[in-house]
């Protein structure tokens, strides 16, 4: 007996504030005007994607004490743009990243419940935590959170929000004009939550929303992040390039669910993935090489190197060799407000690897950075990419992908037009939406209070 075909889940990531996004391409449009968001969301809905995804960063990134100016800069407010997108889409899920450090549970729950009502059941929350005082300088709460408490804060924040969502069962509003009874229960929305982080009580003002609770997403590869996802999330993002690495991650996180009384299908594994298409595999590879050079300009290469070296390398020629000295040890002070610097856990060892690679292949700084940073996941003809995506899903390296186009707003068009039909032909991707809520698209149950 053969294993039944898994259905693939796909999401569209609005191009981010980082060097994956190519703004120098002649086709690159605005990153802030609403029309760009409409274009991507409507393309995703036309292609029957599960959801649209928006990242967040609450302070402009800096490097060397100055605002980082080489990448796209500028984002909308997450909730506000998702609520507007609900007006121009009908079925597409609307997922936003919202920080649990610089918000309070009451307001976030109120906003997500409102978004879920206004989108008729399409809201999703990517729960992130942050601890840095750098971002905290933009908030009255400040950057008060010790790093080791961030998952604890996220957990209790999410539990508290759930209590607020669940404070309405869903049957309280009668609105009977004849008898004059609007509300069946005079205590509807009552809640009280007291712990080390939150001490709140009262009545939640938003009646139960169509999904009960928004879909919960989690991005985080650490052990704590995986555990958080296993206990609380409906889907986890990750970034594992190879099939084997994807399978290892998939097996690991799915294996963690049982201890929370959950079954493996209750947590979807949806890695973020970039892609470059061409008529042939060879043409796609040529295009991918062009994209890599667009993503890593000479200036960008130097900035990447500075993040590892933790030093000002502005005098170096990007087309020349790497610095001969080792990275500066200690706390990284060169770049702030970005996650990438934390990837280099042992900068000296990484630098030595890079130098060895550069010498072996005779690479300049720019060529090396192109080689060692974020290459595209899927490169090939539509047939190749469809086959690869399907292979990843059917062999349990993922349940689907969050696709990250590198051009705004048309970067998903070709995928929608050329790859999605092939997945549909294979019978592994929906040809029409069968449900109206995001929970229905993802095959996860509505939560009842």
Among 190, 290, 343, 356, binds other proteins (CB under 8 A): 190
Q: Does 410 bind other proteins (CB under 8 A)?
A: no
68 is in an annotated binding site: no
3-state SS assignment for residue 380: strand
Among 201, 222, 329, 342, binds other proteins (CB under 8 A): 201
Among 104, 286, 312, 417, binds other proteins (CB under 8 A): 104
Q: By CB under 8 A, what part of segment 144-173 binds other proteins? A: 173
**Based on CB atoms, which residue is closest to other proteins, 202 or 255?**
202
Q: By CB under 8 A, what part of segment 335-394 binds other proteins? A: none
CB 323 within 8 A of CB 316: yes
Contacting range for other proteins; rule: CB under 8 A; set: 57-65, 237-245, 368-376, 394-402: 57-65
**Based on CB atoms, which residue is closest to other proteins, 212 or 271?**
212
**Based on CB atoms, which residue is closest to other proteins, 70 or 257?**
70
In Å, how far are 73, 96, 257, 293 from 31, measured between CA atoms?
8, 16, 38, 21
Contacting range for other proteins; rule: CB under 8 A; set: 139-147, 212-220, 252-260, 440-448: 139-147
Site string for other proteins, 105-124 (x = CB under 8 A): -xx--xx-xxx-xxxx----
In the bound complex, what is the minimum distance in angstroms from residue 251's beta carbon to other proteins? 37
Token pair, residue 118, equals 């206004």
Among 90, 147, 171, 202, binds other proteins (CB under 8 A): 202
Q: Which helix (H) or strand (E) holds 10?
A: strand 9-13
In the bound complex, what is the minimum distance in angstroms from residue 75's beta carbon to other proteins? 5
Q: By CB under 8 A, what part of segment 78-97 binds other proteins? A: 79-81, 83-84, 86-88
**Based on CB atoms, which residue is closest to other proteins, 99 or 218?**
99
Q: Does 214 bind other proteins (CB under 8 A)?
A: no
Q: By CB under 8 A, what part of segment 169-188 binds other proteins? A: 173, 175, 177, 180-188
**Based on CB atoms, which residue is closest to other proteins, 183 or 290?**
183
In the bound complex, what is the minimum distance in angstroms from residue 66's beta carbon to other proteins? 6
DSSP 196: S
Contacting range for other proteins; rule: CB under 8 A; set: 55-63, 263-271, 380-388, 393-401: 55-63
173 C-beta neighbours (distance < 10 Å), count:
15
**Based on CB atoms, which residue is closest to other proteins, 173 or 245?**
173
Contacting range for other proteins; rule: CB under 8 A; set: 197-205, 262-270, 308-316, 390-398: 197-205
Among 199, 324, 330, 345, binds other proteins (CB under 8 A): 199
Q: Does 138 bind other proteins (CB under 8 A)?
A: yes
Among 77, 90, 346, 425, binds other proteins (CB under 8 A): 77
152 phi-psi bin (left φ>0, alpha ψ -120 to 50, beta other): alpha
* One-letter-per-residue 3-state SS of the chain: CCCCCCCCEEEEECCCCCCCCCCCCCCCCCCCCHHHHHHHHHHHHHCCCCEEEECCCCCCCEECCEECCCCCCCCCCHHHHHHHHHHHCCCCEEEEEEECCCCCHHHHHHHHHHHHHHCCCCEEEEEECCCCHHHHCCCCCCCCCCHHHHHHHHHHHHHHHHHHHCCCCCCCEEEECCCCEEECCCCCCEEEEECCCCEEEEECCCCCCCCCCCEEEEECCCHHHHHHHHHHCCEEECCCCCHHHHHHHHHHHHHCCHHHCCCHHHCEECCEECEEECCCHHHHHHHHHHHHHHHCCHHHHHHHHHHHHCCCCCCCCCCCCCCCCCCCCCCCCCEECCCHHHHCCCHHHHHHHHHHHHHHHCCCHHHHHHHHCCCCCEEECHHHHHHHHHHHHHCCCCCEEEECCCCCCCCCHHHHHHHHHHHHHCCCCCCCCCCCCHHHHHCCCCCCC
Among 71, 166, 367, 440, binds other proteins (CB under 8 A): 71
- Name residue, tokens 């889409």: 89
In the bound complex, what is the minimum distance in angstroms from residue 51's beta carbon to other proteins? 17
Q: Does 70 bind other proteins (CB under 8 A)?
A: yes
In the bound complex, what is the minimum distance in angstroms from residue 88's beta carbon to other proteins? 5
**How many residues of this chain bind other proteins (CB under 8 A)?**
77
151 is in an annotated binding site: yes
- Name residue, tokens 């790093």: 147
What is the rounded distance in angstroms from the CA atom of residue 303 to the CA atom of residue 311?
10
**Based on CB atoms, which residue is closest to other proteins, 24 or 263?**
24
97 is in an annotated binding site: yes
Q: Does 23 bind other proteins (CB under 8 A)?
A: yes
Q: By CB under 8 A, what part of segment 281-310 binds other proteins? A: 297-300
- Enumerate the known binding-site residues for FMN: 97, 151, 222
- Enumerate the known binding-site residues: 97, 151, 222
């Amino acid at each position: 007996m053969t294993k039944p075909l898994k259905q693939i889940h796909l999401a569209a990531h609005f191009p981010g504030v980082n060097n994956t996004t190519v703004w120098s391409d002649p086709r690159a449009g605005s990153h802030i005007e609403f029309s760009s968001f409409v274009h991507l969301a409507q393309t995703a809905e036309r292609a029957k994607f599960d959801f649209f995804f928006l990242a967040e960063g609450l302070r402009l990134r800096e490097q060397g004490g100055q605002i980082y100016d080489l990448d796209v800069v500028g984002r909308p407010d997450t909730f506000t743009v998702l609520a507007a997108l609900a007006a121009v889409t009908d079925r597409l899920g609307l997922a936003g990243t919202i920080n649990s450090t610089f918000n309070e549970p009451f307001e976030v729950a109120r906003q997500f419940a409102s978004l879920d009502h206004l989108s008729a059941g399409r809201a999703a929350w990517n729960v992130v935590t942050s601890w840095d005082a750098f971002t905290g300088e933009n908030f009255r709460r400040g950057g008060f959170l010790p790093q080791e408490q961030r998952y604890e804060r996220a957990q209790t924040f999410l539990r508290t929000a759930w209590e607020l969502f669940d404070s309405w069962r869903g049957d309280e509003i009668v609105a009977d004009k004849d008898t004059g009874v609007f509300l069946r229960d005079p205590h509807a929305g009552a809640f009280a939550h007291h712990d080390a982080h939150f001490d709140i009580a009262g009545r939640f003002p938003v009646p139960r929303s169509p999904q009960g609770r928004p879909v919960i997403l989690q991005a985080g590869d650490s052990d704590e992040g995986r555990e958080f996802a296993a206990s609380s999330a409906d889907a986890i993002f990750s970034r594992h390039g190879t099939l084997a690495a994807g399978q290892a991650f998939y097996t690991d996180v799915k294996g963690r669910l049982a201890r929370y009384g959950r079954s493996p299908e209750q947590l979807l594994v949806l890695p973020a993935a970039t892609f470059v298409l061409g008529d042939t595999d060879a043409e796609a590879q040529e295009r991918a090489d062009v994209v890599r050079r667009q993503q890593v300009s000479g200036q960008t290469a130097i900035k990447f190197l500075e993040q590892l070296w933790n030093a000002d390398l502005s005098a170096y020629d990007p087309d020349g060799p790497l610095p001969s000295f080792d990275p500066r040890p200690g706390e990284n002070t060169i770049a702030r407000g970005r996650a990438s610097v934390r990837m280099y856990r042992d900068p000296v060892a990484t630098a030595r690897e890079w130098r060895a690679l550069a010498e072996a292949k005779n690479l300049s700084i720019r060529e090396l950075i192109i080689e060692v940073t974020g290459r595209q996941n899927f490169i090939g003809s539509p047939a190749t990419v469809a086959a690869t995506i399907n292979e990843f899903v059917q062999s349990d390296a993922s349940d689907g992908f969050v696709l990250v186009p590198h051009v705004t707003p048309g970067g998903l068009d070709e995928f929608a037009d050329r790859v999605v039909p092939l997945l549909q032909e294979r019978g592994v991707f929906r040809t029409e939406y069968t449900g109206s809520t995001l929970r229905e698209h993802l095959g996860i149950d509505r939560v009842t209070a």
